[in-house]
C-alpha cells in the first residue's frame, strides 16, 4: 500500500520517513504520484535488522521511518545514528525528536558500531548523529572513537554526517584527525530561509566547515545536501550551488522536503522530477564531482555510488 514519506533526520536533517499522512489537517495537499512509496516487505532486510538489534544500535533509517529502508537494508547498507536519539536542537523540518540528553554518553557505543559494521561486511558505512550541544565537544570524541573502532575491524569506506559543532574548530579537527573518507554536512536550504528552517545553525558556518575539511589536507571528500520545496527561488538555489562549489564541496544530494507533522514547516511546492533532473545537471556543470538529485533522494541513499565506492547497481556488501 502506498504511504506518505516524510523528511527528518538528526545532524543531517536528511532522513525521510513513512508514517501517518503528514499533510493532514487544514493544510492538506495531495501527494503527487512520484512521492508515493511502498512499505518494505518482510524478510528483505531481516538480517541487517537482527544484527543492529543485537548491538543495540539506532539507525536514522528507522528514526525517520525512511521509505528507502527496505531497499537500502537489502543491499546491506544502513545509516547508524550515534549519540542517542534525542536532539538538542529544534529545526523546523526534522522528524527526530528534540530533548535534553543532559550530557549522557554511551562510551561503549563505538565498539558496538565497529562490530556491527564488521558483521555486516560493508564496503561503505555511513555514521550520523543528533546534535549534542549539551556536550562540551559536541560529540566529536565519540565520532572519532567510532571511526577508530570501525578501522580496527574493517576496511570499509567511512562516511560521517556531522553537526556543525557550533563552529568550534577543535571539535571538527578531532573528527578530521580520525581520518574518515567522506565528511558530509548538510546546508539544507538557501541562505534566506535559514533563520526559519535551521534557527540554531548558520549558512556561512556550514560553508566554512566544508572548506576547513578540504583545507586540512587530509584528502577527505566533502559532501552536502539541499532540500527543495520550502519556498526557495530558482536564483537562490543556483546561488547555493555556487557557494558550495566555491567552498570546495565535491558531492551533493538534492531532495524534496516533506512535512513530518502539522507542527513542522509546511511544504510550499512539490518539485517535479524533471526539475530535480535539471538541477542535478546544473550542479555537475557548476563543478560538483557527483550529484544525486530526485524527489526521494536523501543524504545517505546510495551514498556508496555517489562517493564512487561501488558502481551503480552493485551491492555495498562485500562478496563472500
Residue 91 is assigned to a ligand binding site: yes
Which residues, 6 or more positions from 10, have their beta carbon under 8 angstroms from its beta carbon? 60, 63, 64, 81, 87, 94, 96, 128, 129, 130, 131, 161
Q: Return d(Cα 196, Cα 69) in angstroms, integer.
A: 29
Q: Which three cell numbers stand for residue 98?
A: 528534540
Residue 66 is assigned to a ligand binding site: yes
Give 35's DSSP letter. G
Residue 72 is assigned to a ligand binding site: yes
48 phi-psi bin (left φ>0, alpha ψ -120 to 50, beta other): alpha
Q: Return d(Cα 316, Cα 125) in angstroms, integer.
A: 9
Which residues, 6 or more positions from 291, have their beta carbon under 8 angstroms from its beta carbon? 251, 252, 253, 254, 280, 283, 284, 306
CA geometry: angle 143, 227, 30, nearest 5 deg: 130
Q: Which of 115, 12, 120 is nearest to 63 (CA)?
A: 12
Residue 87 is assigned to a ligand binding site: yes
CA-to-CA separations, 271 to 58, 159, 239, in angstroms, rounded: 31, 28, 18
Residues at the binding site are 61, 66, 72, 87, 91, 94, 300
Residues at the binding site for [4Fe-4S] cluster are 61, 66, 72, 87, 91, 94, 300
Amino acid at each position: 500500500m502506498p504511504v506518505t514519506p516524510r523528511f527528518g533526520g538528526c545532524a543531517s536533517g536528511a532522513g525521510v520517513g513513512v508514517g501517518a499522512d503528514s499533510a493532514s489537517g487544514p493544510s492538506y495537499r495531495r501527494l503527487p504520484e512520484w512521492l508515493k512509496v511502498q512499505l518494505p516487505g518482510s524478510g528483505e532486510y531481516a538480517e541487517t535488522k537482527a544484527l543492529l538489534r543485537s548491538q543495540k544500535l539506532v539507525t536514522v533509517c528507522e528514526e525517520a521511518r525512511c521509505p528507502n529502508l527496505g531497499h537500502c537494508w537489502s543491499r546491506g547498507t544502513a545509516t547508524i545514528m550515534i549519540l542517542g536519539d534525542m536532539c538538542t536542537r529544534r529545526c523546523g523540518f526534522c522528524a527526530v525528536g528534540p530533548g535534553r540528553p543532559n550530557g549522557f554518553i554511551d562510551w561503549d557505543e563505538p565498539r558496538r558500531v565497529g562490530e556491527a559494521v564488521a558483521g555486516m561486511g560493508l564496503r561503505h558505512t555511513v555514521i550520523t548523529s543528533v546534535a549534542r550541544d549539551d556536550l562540551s565537544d559536541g560529540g566529536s570524541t565519540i565520532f572519532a572513537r567510532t571511526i577508530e573502532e570501525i578501522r580496527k575491524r574493517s576496511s570499509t569506506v567511512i562516511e560521517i554526517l556531522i553537526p556543525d559543532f557550533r563552529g568550534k574548530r577543535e571539535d571538527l579537527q578531532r573528527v578530521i584527525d580520525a581520518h574518515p573518507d567522506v565528511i558530509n554536512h548538510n546546508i539544507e536550504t538557501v541562505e534566506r530561509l535559514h533563520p526559519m528552517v535551521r534557527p540554531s545553525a548558520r549558512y556561512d558556518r556550514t560553508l566554512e566547515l566544508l572548506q576547513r575539511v578540504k583545507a586540512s589536507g587530509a584528502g577527505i571528500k566533502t559532501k552536502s545536501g539541499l532540500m527543495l520545496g520550502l519556498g526557495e527561488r530558482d536564483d537562490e538555489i543556483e546561488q547555493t550551488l555556487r557557494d558550495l562549489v566555491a567552498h570546495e564541496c565535491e558531492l551533493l544530494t538534492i531532495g524534496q522536503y516533506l512535512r513530518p507533522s502539522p507542527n513542522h514547516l509546511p511544504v510550499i511546492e512539490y518539485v517535479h522530477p524533471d526539475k530535480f533532473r535539471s538541477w542535478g545537471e546544473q550542479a555537475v556543470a557548476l563543478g560538483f564531482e557527483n550529484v544525486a538529485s530526485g524527489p526521494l533522494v536523501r543524504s545517505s541513499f546510495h551514498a556508496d555510488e555517489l562517493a564512487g565506492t561501488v558502481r551503480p547497481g552493485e551491492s555495498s556488501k562485500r562478496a563472500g
